[in-house]
Structure 1
Amino acid sequence: MKSLHLNMYKKINYIAAVLVLFTGITAQAQVNSQSTYSEYGLGNIKPLALPQLRAMGGIASGVFKPSGYNNINMQNPASYSGISMATVDIGMSGSFTTLKQGSLSEKSFNGALSHIALAFPIVNGKSGISFGLLPYSQVGYEYTKQSSVGGTNYTSIYSGEGGLSKAYLGFGQQIGSHFRVGGNVEYLFGNLVKSSSIEMDLVGAKYTRIQDKNSVGGVAFSYGAQYEIPLGTKKRITLGYSGSSSSTVNSTRTYLASQYLKNSTGDEDAFIDTLTSIKGKETKLKLPLTHSFGFTIQRDNKWMFGADYRMGGWKKLAIDGENQGLQDSWGVSAGGQYTPDVTSIGSYFKRIDYRLGFMYDKTYIQRSGQDIKQQAITLGFGLPLAPSRYSFYKLNFTTEIGQRGTLSNGLVKENYINFHVGFTLNDTWFIKNKLY
């Protein structure tokens, strides 16, 4: 008995340590993307899906339980009711990005821890809870524009960094034999920092910089429902809906306009004066109402295919009462997974989950009369690791190959390859061993 309790405490302490580490890293992280389109709105919005779902194009609304193995689907909290074992998922991601505009090209790489999520079944076996932390949006860009007025050359420098993270706590409940509902309480937090500078090609000139920072922190809500249609003992169709409320969260705005000098080598030399300063102004950030509809059809422990349609009312996004000039968004995803033989002993490759998908989005950005669109092909693998008596492990790899934007009308086209790695643990915590 002491050994059982000691083992349990070690697992709890391990997860607590990872949570503290991950929270600290997330809170301190600033520039973790390189995208000119992250300048608008809240930045580039990240899919609220773990690697195993992102490999299938990001389908989630109708995903309940792809196999006997437990996965956490926080995008539709109704799925928590299917959690049958203590489940932990921790991951990291990286991105290779190539920016193109006309004949210009620039490459970059960014990587970071991406998520931690935990889920547990409730005693009655028809409900579950989940909580975790993952990114919501990312801001990271820097570019310049050249202009000339009255024979004087000007360089305008624009940059931004930061992003928002989401911590959530959710509950899912099965009602009857085929219907499930669930909800998440979410805390959205982070910093959105945007700067612009104007520099003149004049000896001894004073340069001007404007920095606008919004520190966001507030509560939001998301919810979901699923209905299952049995097609026999091993086949089923799952219909799903998920969405998020149009919540208003708090934001503290700091606005600073200042002047500075540069030395003979072109480096910033000295701060001169503050022109305008607004510190700690309490404002509000109005989030959009979003909806997602989806379905999956599957044969348990063999194959699954599904699709999602999503839309967001971003046209109404406002920060400090100021509309951000965005468009309503919509998108589709389709994908699935196939496992040749989950029980195979002679062939490891037959126990691997093979995943493939596609996603397409009309984002909330419109520039120079062009809707900014994003599309990607996704693929991945779920690699089972050697289980212990009461524990099961899986390593999930996902690759997204896609593009955002267009070269038309002098705009920027972004080609990217995203990598996601997630480690998933299923374990029978809090269950006593029986002696016979």
Structure 2
Amino acid sequence: MYKIYLFLSSMALLGSIATAQAQNLGNSPFSAFGVGDVNESTGSVRSFGMGNVGVGTPASAYINSSNPALLYYNNRVTFELGLGAQAKILSDEVGEQRDADGSLNYLALALPISKRWSTAVGLRPYSTINYEYTSEGTVAGDATTKTRNSYTGNGNLSEVFFGHGIRIAKRLNLGVSASYLFGLVERESGSQLINATDASLSAEQLVINERTNYNGFQFKGALAYRQPLKDKWSLNLGTVYTIGSDLNTKKRTVQERRLSNDLVLGQNYLGDSITTTTRLPQGIQFGLSVDNGQSLVIGADFSAQKWSEFKSGVSTDKLADTYRIGIGAEYIPNPVSVNSYFQRVAYRAGFSVGKTPLELNGKQVNDVSLHWGFTLPIGGSPRPPEYTQSLLNLGFAVGRRGNGESNTLQENYFRVQLGFSLNSNWFIKPKID
């Protein structure tokens, strides 16, 4: 009864926690374009600790949502919860700003359907928008009248995914995944006149407020292959193709006159709501790894996405194609040790480098990060008949985003992920009651 209750509670939490992701705040001007900062960490905390390597790294104790074909290896019921936090320093030639935030990273449940088929359902952020910055300019046609312009945006797109991993031939797995993307984004741009004599701002400002709703489906196809080598070593290969998709997009625009205390003096709806689409581009991922089936894994991933194909009826943003390379490793000294707890701890490290969809001064923004992490077993080694195993997962990363020029915007960040994994053979009846 307890297990049934836990299962139903997990699914209820999966649906109700979606609104919590809207609290993923933290000023990032890099999120002002397109659909915002797209989540690169689509795997578990294990994957994050290895430099977001996961497309070709199978594991039975974790839900690998980077490659749905690897869900085949989840031969026990697995429940995972992940939380994330980050601290960052934004800097340019004018100054710097410090910021911090935290949010839900993912929630997932994997179930073995048969010996050849496992499935998983989960929730994670797809992208996040949160920015706030100001600039100064002049009124169109009047170069002597100066203005102070402010720009803010917040919101996110969430992803509910449903994946399957199926063994279709000896050592070869097929994976498919369907995701429902949804979210609300609010953007505001305001303008105030600057007094020419004392540089004070006028009490009234003109604000354009845009509320945009997104929803639609995204589909992925995947393959995974495992080839035994000598001395218990194996080679793993994986690939994932993301099909380009169109999101239903609806935007409402309101013009407001506000006082400095945000009191609204008047509103004017600028036409009817716009109903259009937003095109998310296709993408491809490749991964490989070698492992000894027990204590050591070394892997690498490559991913690319055609963000130059991004189009939206509510945006004129031009984005660039992206790529990312990740390299990582995991080592467990002795997974079955009964004398030393730290022999059963998993130690991880990795490195990631890539190009983001954004350009500053005509140069594409880079993202470089160093990762490490641990998995701490909770309790003793799993024993029959339940084989229940609980794991506390920790992942860390330090990195930088920028185009390499010291006088343009740069972001230095420190990220932490905390996760919990529960593995259990729920549907095996004990021989002794």
Contact 1:138–1:163 (8 Å) recurs in 2: yes
Q: Which amino acid aligns with 2:417?
A: H
Give the partner amino acid of 2:395: T
The CA RMSD over aligned residues, in Å, is: 1.9
Partners of 2:376 and 2:240 lie apart in 1 by: 28
Q: 1:75 aligns with which of 56, 62, 66?
A: 66
Q: Is the 8 A contact 2:251 2:314 kept in 1?
A: no
From 102, 123, 147, give the equivalent of 2:137.
147
2:244 pairs with 1:255: no
- Whether 1:222 aligns to 2:212 is no
Deviation at 1:190, TM superposition (A): 0.6
Bigger mean CA deviation after superposition, 191-200 or 83-92: 191-200
Say if 2:64 and 2:70, in contact at 8 Å, map to a contact too. Answer: yes
Match of 1:369 among 349, 362, 370: 362
1:122 partner SS: strand
Q: Distance in 1 between matches of 2:67 and 2:404?
A: 36
Alignment-mate amino acid for residue 245 of structure 1? I
- SS, match of residue 309 in structure 1: strand
Please show how residues 129-140 of structure 1 align to structure 2 within 5 Å. Answer: 129-140=119-130
| Paired position in structure 1 for 2:98 | 107
Match of 1:403 in 2: 400
Query: Mean Cα displacement is larger for which, 194-203 or 244-253?
Result: 194-203
Contact in 2 for aligned 1:294/1:308 (Cα 8 Å): yes
- 8 Å Cα contact 2:331-2:348 kept in structure 1: yes
Number of the residue aligned with 2:111:
120
Cα offset, 1:409, TM superposition: 7.2
Change (3 A) 1:407 1:176: closer
- Identity percentage of aligned residues: 26
Contact persistence 1:368–1:409 (CA under 8 A):
no
1:10 to 5, 11, 35: 5
Comparing 402-411 with 214-223, which one deviates more in the overlay?
Answer: 402-411
Gaps of 5+ in 2: 196-200
- Residue 191 (structure 1) aligns with: 184
Count of aligned pairs: 420
Distance 2:298 2:190 in 1: 50
Deviation at 1:384, TM superposition (A): 0.7
2:149 pairs with 1:156: yes
CA distance in 1, matches of 2:202, 2:84: 45
Do residues 420 (structure 1) and 413 (structure 2) align? Answer: no
CA distance in 1, matches of 2:159, 2:331: 31
Name 1:87's counterpart in structure 2: 78
Deviates more, 1:92-101 or 1:31-40: 31-40
Q: Any conservation in 2 of the 1:316–1:323 contact (CA below 8 Å)? A: no
Is the contact between residue 382 and residue 397 of structure 1 (CA under 8 Å) also seen in structure 2?
yes
Alignment of 1:24-423 (within 5 A): 24-26=19-21, 29-47=22-40, 48-65=42-59, 69-123=60-114, 125-148=115-138, 150-202=143-195, 206-232=204-230, 234-262=232-260, 267-274=261-268, 276-320=269-313, 324-387=317-380, 389=383, 390=386, 391-406=388-403, 408=405, 410-423=407-420
Displacement after TM superposition at 1:323 (Å): 5.0
Judged with a 3 Å threshold, the aligned counterparts in structure 2 of structure 1 residues 133 and 278 are, in CA distance, closer, same or farther, namely: farther
- Cα distance, 1:205 vs. partner? 6.0
Deviation readout 1:302-361 (Å, 9 max, x if unpaired): 100011111000001111175531011111000010000111111111111000000111
CA 1:31 to 1:256, structure 2 compared with 1: closer, same or farther past 3 Å?
farther
> Aligned in 2, Cα 1:46/1:268: closer, same or farther, shift over 3 Å?
same
Determine if contact 2:193/2:202 at 8 Å carries over to the other structure.
Answer: no
Aligned equivalents of 2:54, 2:209: Cα separation in 1: 38
Change (3 A) 1:376 1:409: closer
Q: Quick one: distance in 2 between partners of 1:172 and 1:285?
A: 29
1:30–1:163 contact (8 Å) kept in structure 2:
no
Contact 2:92 2:406 in 1 (8 A): no
Q: Specify the SS of the correspondent of 1:408.
A: coil
Amino acid at match of 1:221: F
Q: Report SS of the residue matched to 2:270.
A: strand
| TM-score normalised to structure 2 length | 0.92
Which whole-Å CA distance do the structure 2 matches of 1:199 and 1:321 have between them?
Answer: 25
CA distance in structure 2 between the aligned counterparts of 1:72 and 1:336, rounded to whole angstroms = 17
Q: CA deviation at 1:52?
A: 0.7
Q: How far did residue 80 of structure 1 move?
A: 1.0
Asked whether the equivalents of residues 33 and 138 of structure 1 are also in contact (C-alpha less than 8 Å), the reply is no
Q: Distance in 1 between matches of 2:352 and 2:404?
A: 21
SS in 1 for 2:57: coil
Counterpart contact for 1:261–1:272, Cα < 8 Å: no
Amino acid at match of 2:194: D
Distance in 1 between residues matched to 2:390 and 2:24, nearest whole Å: 32
Deviations 1:201-236 (A, max 9, x none): 247664211122221111110121011111146210
State the alpha-carbon separation in 1 of the partners of residues 191 and 44 from structure 2. Answer: 41
Gaps of 5+ in 1: 1-5
Q: Give the whole-Å Cα distance in 2 for the aligned partners of 1:256 and 1:92.
A: 35
